[in-house]
Amino acid sequence: MGMKKSGVRILACVLVLASGSLLEGKVGENTKIYVVFVNQGCSCPAGGAPEGLITNEEVLHKLQGKCSGVDFIARDITKRDISIGAVLNELEGSKEGLDGVLILGALGNREYRLAFTGLPTICVYSLFEWMNIPYKLYNTGKENSIKVGGPEYKAGKILTAQLDRRNVCAPPVASAMFEDLVNKIKIIQAIKKLKESRILVVTTTRYLGQVDYQGDANKHFPEDYNERYTRALKESLGVELVRIEPKEFYEAVKKVEEGQAEEIAKIWIDEAQGLKDTTESEVIKTAKSYLAFEALRKKYNCNAVSTHMRSLTGSGKVEDMVWPGLGLMEFQKRGIQAICQEYENIMVAHLLGYYLTGRPSMLGDLIIDTFNNITLLTHCGAPINPYGDDRRIPYIIWSHAQSPVRNTLKPGSGTGAQVNYPVNEPVTIWKVYVLHKKIGVHTGKTADGHSLYKDFDGIMCRTKLIVKVDDAKKIQKHFSPDEYGIHRAGTLGDLRERIKDLATLIGFEVIEEDK
């Protein structure tokens, strides 16, 4: 990665990453984090370091054991042959090849420039050091100093953490400190993975995410919207969009082997709890769309699929209509993020949710019920592996709710999945707004919609993710289709704090919609 060889002692052992392909949702190259030890982990008294102090080498070794896929490039400025000036010069000259910075010690040298490189940075305070970390400056980027001179620090992307290097806390507390640091390092890993992501976009719409913004009918997209959005996505998050014409999808469908589509359709039918008001032939059509998307994904070296295709041929005939939700569920089972309506802001949330937790997310239209204190997402499908492991939740295959011949068993009935989420699970509803540089988020717990609403399964889309919240009116006040669209992502688990930390490291603002 072009690090300067200046005779500086390197403490880190480079971890060897197991071979894997980005195409299957695995990491490419290791995440590279520049580590600076500014002291020995304590403000040592005249008698020297206290007995039992965890050394810099031991801290590094523990981090290597917990952070697979990370190369820690370590510099210890307590060593005689390493100066702060040399470290600053090396860090500045190597930024393009680094993914983040980790500073351990309370900046006893009071050199703030280490933290303000513009890279995602974590500053770690060791309990019972002199308190020289400028937390307010790190958190706000502002400081009303009575002192004069020196640089003005801006554009920091800084998280803070704490370690018990003296072993003075109860073991569970000390372990929690270390796990917190590891989790923040993993956020840097997630950001790095996001920068490697390429999203295959296949849609018949003119503008990216067009169907998401169902607001004022008198407003329109700027002519350069696609270019503006694509550029902002690449510059702020590193994500590339690979947009292809619908005709390439239609050609890929023609090349699909009927037998292969039949085999996949049989797997979906066998694992479902039932096939309701649609036919096996419609499931096979959906399988053909999945195989076509898979061929195109491989062709263009993409690790995500975002599509708004509703026909296998483009003929306009009802019998050729198809909805790809079951196939996109299959992608998610494989660790490949895919959404059946082409909303890049949602896809970024899906990718980040997966990189942060290993869990796939649901895309859905956001519904807000202020009297029952419910928000819910509704769509014709969701991941059946929302925990990100081998567990599966039940689903039923229906006709698609948008089909003009749904409930008739006629060709074109399509397929939609009713995925039944478990209740009383913490869940995060969120979305990344690339052009705004914001992330909207609220949290709650999954609930049973049948206990709240009559004919629940027959209302709107097939799948509903029901979320019990404290105050739905607060969330409703943030709802603005022209700004934020009408869809959201739903990820099992309470990700609020990780999303807030993530936003800090990418320079985005967080809208806590329920606050």
pLDDT of 106: 74
Kindly tell me if the per-residue pLDDT of 10 is higher than 70: no
Whether the Cβ atoms of residue 122 and residue 25 lie closer than 8 Å to each other? no
Average pLDDT, stretch 111-132?
91
Confidence at residue 359, expressed as pLDDT on a 0 to 100 scale = 97
* pLDDT tens digit sequence for 327-366: 999 999 999 999 999 999 999 999 999 999 999 999 999 9
Query: Would you say residue 107 has pLDDT above 70?
Result: no
Predicted confidence (pLDDT) at residue 390 exceeds the cutoff of 80: yes
Measured between its terminal Cα atoms, the distance across the chain in Å is: 43
Average predicted confidence (pLDDT) for the chain: 91
Confidence at residue 443, expressed as pLDDT on a 0 to 100 scale: 98
CB 106 within 8 A of CB 117: no
412: which 2 tokens?
């074109």
Tokens coding 73: 């490039």
- Other Cβ atoms less than 10 A from the Cβ of 220: the count is 9
Backbone angles phi, psi at 303, to 5 degrees: -115, 15
d(CA 455, CA 493) in angstroms, rounded, equals 28
Q: What are phi and psi of 230, to 5 degrees?
A: -60, -40
- What pLDDT was estimated at residue 165? 95
How sure is the predictor about 78, in pLDDT bands with cuts at 50, 70 and 90?
confident
d(Cα 196, Cα 180) in Å, to the nearest integer? Answer: 25
> What tokens does 301 get?
């070296």
Strand partners, 223: none
Residue-level length of the chain: 515
For the chain, list the domains and their CATH numbers: 22-195 (3.40.50.9100), 198-512 (no CATH)
- Of 29-43, 122-136, 302-316, which has the strongest mean pLDDT? 302-316
Q: What is the pLDDT of residue 140?
A: 87
Tens of pLDDT, residue by residue over 221-263, are 999 999 999 999 999 999 999 999 999 999 999 999 999 999 9
Asked if 351 and 335 count as a contact pair (C-beta separation under 8 A), the reply is no
State which H helix or E strand residue 489 sits in. Answer: strand 487-492
425 vs 422: CA distance, rounded Å = 7
Closest CA relative to residue 280, chosen from 290, 267, 293, 291: 267
**Per-residue confidence (pLDDT) for residue 50, from 0 to 100:** 80
Q: Output the pLDDT for position 442.
A: 98
Task: State how far the Cα of 487 lies from the Cα of 27, in Å rounded to an integer.
Answer: 28
Kindly report the number of other CB atoms within 10 A of residue 317's CB atom. 12
**pLDDT score for 18:** 28
pLDDT digits (tens, 9 = 90+) for 17-56: 222 333 333 446 899 999 999 988 887 666 667 888 999 9
Give the up-direction half-sphere exposure of residue 218: CA atoms within 13 A in the CB hemisphere.
0
Q: Are 344 and 447 in contact (CB under 8 A)?
A: no
Least confident of 229-233, 278-282, 400-404: 400-404
**410-454 tens-digit pLDDT:** 999 999 999 999 999 999 999 999 999 999 999 999 999 999 999
Q: Which residue has the tokens 């003005």?
A: 152
Q: Which of 66, 96, 67 is nearest to 4 (CA)?
A: 96
Q: Is the confidence at residue 143, as pLDDT, over 50?
A: yes
